[in-house]
């Protein structure tokens, strides 16, 4: 079975996530407020936040999945940086690789790395 990979742009801090989404207008996103239950766990969120995700994709390439997410963020880099600076949001791109039977490629191109630096994000990669 081919590996499945997901990438998500997470914004976490103390602010109203729905207002941020209205400002940036990125479309469909998952939002949560401090104290909301974390799906499929007994834990609660310790801050407000929102996430724009690729969803699980059948892929052998982390670069491909990250490219899909970055394409959705394209054109909003300045607004995202401004929002993060104004609200002390900690920007992160979180990736989960469900390797299963395959061996996904985790090489990141210079172009992908450059875009991550432009967005000023932390990159979190979990291999599950």
User: Is the full-model pTM beyond 0.85?
Assistant: no
Task: Give the domain ranges of the chain.
Answer: 4-127
CATH of 4-127, one of 3.30.70, 1.20.58, 1.10.3470, 3.30.1330: 3.30.70
Residue-wise pLDDT for 75-122, tens only, equals 777 888 888 887 777 788 889 898 877 788 888 999 999 988 888 888
> What's the rounded mean pLDDT across residues 59-80?
86
Task: State residue 1's pLDDT score.
Answer: 62
CA-closest candidate to residue 84, choices 118, 39, 42, 35? 118
Q: Please tell me the predicted confidence (pLDDT) of residue 115.
A: 87
């Amino acid at each position: 079975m081919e590996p499945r990979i997901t990438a998500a742009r997470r914004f976490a801090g103390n602010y109203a996530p729905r207002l941020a989404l209205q400002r940036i207008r990125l479309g469909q996103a998952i939002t949560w407020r401090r104290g909301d239950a974390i799906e499929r766990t007994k834990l609660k969120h310790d801050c407000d936040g929102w996430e724009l995700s690729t969803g699980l994709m059948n892929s052998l390439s982390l670069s491909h999945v990250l490219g899909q997410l970055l394409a959705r963020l394209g054109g909003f880099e300045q607004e995202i940086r401004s929002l993060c600076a104004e609200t002390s949001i900690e920007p992160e791109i979180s990736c989960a690789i469900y390797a299963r039977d395959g061996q996904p490629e985790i090489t990141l191109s210079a172009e992908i790395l450059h875009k991550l630096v432009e967005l000023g994000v932390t990159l979190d990669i979990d291999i599950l």
